[in-house]
Chain A
Amino acid sequence: MATLELSLEEEAGATPVRRRRLGTLFWFAIGWMVLVFAVAIFADLLPLPNPTDMDMLERRAPISAEHWLGTDGLGRDELSRLIYGARISLIVGLCAPMIGVTIGGALGMLAGYFRGRFESVVVGSMDVLLAFPPLILALAVTAYLGQSIFNLTCILGVLGIPAFMRVSRAATLTLARREFVIAAQALGATHARILLRELLPNVLLPLLAFFLLGVAVTIVVEGSLSFLGLGVPPPISSWGSMIGEGRESLDVAPMLAFIPAIAMFLTVLAFNLIGDTMRALTDPRQGAL
């Protein structure tokens, strides 16, 4: 009979509880996210005026009971536009990095695992994509295919692929040298199995943290593009286009540019905060002493 590991039983009752103080900032971030998502999802059910209904008599109206955040230069309800704009910003902000994380993540893992010529081709083509000026690409695509939310999401998604590829390739490179991967090979596991069962769970976490960062960046980039008039086609509102439209009346009604800017700032900050905390929380090494 083998030597019994007695000490483990002693410990069984007293599993170290991994409790960490998350901090109030984290809970504020979560609260803000919940609020933004809730109003964006349930915008149609809220008693809001139509965001595209113009009221030429009430242009740039101040805050009132009727218009909680006032109206814009065309007399459209600012709060309503902000909430419908959140929808667009979030859809683009979440979907575009999704494209990046799927394609870039998969390419990076394959490149990091198989190495060789495949890796050179992937890294090379990503470098080409990175070297291509993103604004020109956006201009070219919108000029050719037309302005739409779908096209915008695709452009932003493709632009994110190289970054995700790099993150996942770097993680895979270090992991693929670890013994547990060699152990799986020695067990006769197929490449697909090693990639999915051994590598993916470990690569997923840095990717997820980077994904949240990507969401934040995409929201800003979408805003910039819309601000330049390359984003969502009017009269649909997004935070970026609202800031762009507010620019014309910065001197008379600065609020029109600042309100969507603040909303964007808080949302991006919240995504970054949550991303950082998640990464710290799920690192398995922190639990080991």
Chain B
Amino acid sequence: MLQTASDPLMKVENLVVEYSVGGKTIHAVSDVSLEIARGETLGLVGESGCGKSTLGRAVLQLRQAVSGKVLFDGHDLTTLKGESLRKMRRRVQLIFQDPIASLNPRRRIGDIVAEPLMIAGVKDPEERKRRVDEVLSAVGLDPALVSGRQPHEFSGGQCQRICIARSLVLNPEFVICDEPVSALDVSIRAQILNLLEEMKARYGLTLLFIAHDLAVVKAVSDRVAVMYLGRLCEVGPSEQLFARPAHPYTALLIEAIPVPDPDVRPTQSVPVGEPPSPIAPPSGCRFRTRCPRADARCAGEVPELRVVAPGQFAACHHPLI
């Protein structure tokens, strides 16, 4: 299923993540399988609470999976512990939504960016400084000006550059970007998106790009995966997926994007309603409660992801194509 590349760098197999809040079980990720090829950017979209961030963290083993496998370069991360897991984590990095909160307010930028090197055991201070300076310049900051300052002296966009520098200093192979631009202003957002693209080319990265904004995801992704209430709805090459969505939920998401054109009157067809609670997700297809095409079969039978077009998969009993 979902064979896209002969050489996937990251492979998630039937991952299930559940956790309890106040005695109730939240089904955050239910039976999700994904493959990310070396050098690819996979966009992961969905509304808040759909489990996309949890999936990102479960890949890094920051959240315990109930079942399933996370294969990174052939190693199953879910079975690794202690030192071997820490070693593996150095090859996988994470960038967060709130750049200011992800920097320790009491430490200097130079130390923050050097921290991964310290943890990895780079003992030579000269070597550390050289690599920190190099990566800071790469993200468009002047190391001489920046290193001695503290995070609060920088704007959100600059902090995100620092976060990107920190994630790149160990030359990772795989970077998970969890809503990296949603806290930023429009004019800064484009800068950071361009920077991520540049860094991807320069360091040969593979990216998992998590966001709720489809336009942002499309700008950077080779393939896009759409998630709804813990399950994958649709996966496909981004241009193809946006041009011809197969899952009604994907279509709904595309329709809801505000278009900066006064002639395009906002459609009133967006259905009223919100995602149900992940504590008690609907039976069968989880989207059926908001879906215009839902029928009895959708309530009884969980749709499997299947091919709808070359490279495009959808989990729907009544796909649009």
Direct contact of A and B (CB under 8 A): yes
Residues of A near any B CB (own CB < 8 A) = 2-5, 8-9, 12, 178-180, 182-190, 193, 197-198, 201-202, 284-285, 287-288
Q: Mark B89-103, 1 if CB is under 8 A from A, else 0.
A: 110111011100111
Q: Which residues on B sit within 8 Å (CB–CB) of A185?
A: 62
- In the bound complex, residues from chain B placing their C-beta under 8 Å from that of A198 are 104
Whether the pair A186, B89 counts as a contact (CB closer than 8 A) is: yes
Given the known inter-chain contacts A182-B62, A183-B166, please indicate yes or no for A188 contacting B119, CB distance below 8 A.
yes
A178-B101, A186-B62, A284-B105 are known; give 11 further A-B pairs, CB within 8 A.
Answer: A2-B198, A8-B158, A9-B142, A180-B102, A186-B92, A186-B94, A187-B90, A188-B120, A189-B115, A285-B105, A285-B152
Question: Any chain A CB within 8 A of the CB of B291?
Answer: no
A3, A187, A202: the one contacting B195 at CB < 8 Å is A3
The one of A2, A9, A183, A184 in contact with B138, judged by C-beta atoms closer than 8 angstroms, is A2
Q: Are B105 and A183 in contact (CB under 8 A)?
A: no
| 23 A–B pairs (Cβ distance < 8 Å), ordered by A | A2-B140, A5-B142, A8-B146, A8-B158, A12-B145, A179-B97, A180-B101, A182-B62, A182-B96, A183-B96, A183-B163, A185-B62, A186-B89, A186-B92, A186-B94, A187-B90, A187-B93, A187-B116, A187-B170, A189-B86, A284-B152, A287-B150, A288-B153
> What is the size category of the interface that chain B forms with chain A?
35 or more
Q: How far, in angstroms, from A188 to B146 measured CA to CA in the complex?
A: 25
Check B106 against A284 for contact (C-beta < 8 Å): yes
- Whether B89 contacts A183 by the Cβ 8 Å rule is no
- In the docked arrangement, what's the CA distance between A3 and B193, Å? 11
Closest to B97 in A: A179
Is there contact, CB below 8 Å, between A288 and B102?
A: no
- In Å, the complex CA distance between A189 and B161 comes to 21
CB pair B150 A284 closer than 8 Å: yes
Q: State the Cβ distance, A270 to closest chain B Cβ, in Å.
A: 27
Of all chain A residues, the one with the shortest Cβ separation from B105 is A284
Select the residue from A180, A190, A198 with max chain B CB neighbours within 10 A.
A180
A287 to chain B, nearest CB (A): 5
A187–B119 touching, CB < 8 Å = yes
Tell me, in angstroms, the Cα distance from A28 to B151 when the chains sit together: 34
Cβ contact within 8 Å between A186 and B60: yes
Tell me whether B194 is interfacial, beta carbon within 8 Å: yes
Q: Are the C-beta atoms of B145 and A8 separated by less than 8 Å?
A: yes
Chain A residue at smallest Cβ distance from B155: A7
- Could you count the A-B residue pairs with CB atoms below 8 Å apart for me: how many are there? 96
Q: What is the 8 Å Cβ interface bit string for chain B, positions 116-158, against chain A (1 contact, 0 not)? A: 1001100000000000000000111110011000111100001
The interface residues of chain A, by DSSP majority, are classed as helix
For B138, the chain A residues whose CB sits under 8 A away are 2
A178, A179, A184, A197: which has the most chain B beta carbons within 10 Å? A179
For the complex, give the distance between the alpha carbons of A178 and B100 in Å. Answer: 10
Cβ contacts under 8 Å, A9 to chain B: 142, 145
Chain B residues near A184: list those with CB within 8 A.
115, 119
Q: Is B107 an interface residue when CB atoms closer than 8 A count as contact?
A: yes
Do the beta carbons of A179 and B140 come within 8 Å of each other?
A: no
List residues 157-186 of chain B with CB under 8 A from any CB of chain A.
158, 161, 163, 166, 170
B153 near A183 (CB under 8 angstroms)? no
Q: Is B25 an interface residue (CB 8 A)?
A: no
Task: Specify the chain B residue showing the minimal Cβ separation from A16.
Answer: B153
Is there an interface contact between B60 and A8, defined as CB atoms closer than 8 Å? no
Could you say which of B92, B97, B151, B161 contacts A5, with CB atoms under 8 Å apart?
B161
Residues of chain B lying within 8 A (CB to CB) of residue A285: 105, 152
Closest to B163 in A: A183
Q: Within 8 Å of chain A (Cβ to Cβ): is B4?
A: no
Q: Give the one of B106, B139, B198 with max A CB within 10 A.
A: B106
B267 to chain A, nearest CB (A): 36
Contact A180 B87 (CB under 8 A): no
> Does the CB pair B106–A202 fall under 8 Å?
yes
A201 touches B62 (CB 8 A): no
Closest to B107 in A: A201
**Residues of chain A within 8 A of B79, CB atoms compared:** none
Residues of B within 8 A of A180 (CB): 101-104
Q: How many angstroms from the CA of A198 to the CA of B191 in the assembled complex?
A: 29
Q: Report the minimum CB–CB distance from A9 to chain B (whole Å).
A: 7
**Considering only CB atoms, which chain A residue lies closest to B146 in the complex?**
A8
Chain B positions within 8 Å of A183 at CB level: 94, 96, 102, 163, 166
Which residue of the partner chain A has the closest CB to B149? A15
- CB contacts (< 8 Å) of B150 on chain A: these are 284, 287
A8 near B142 with CB under 8 A, answer yes
Contact for A197 among B115, B139, B195, CB less than 8 A: B115
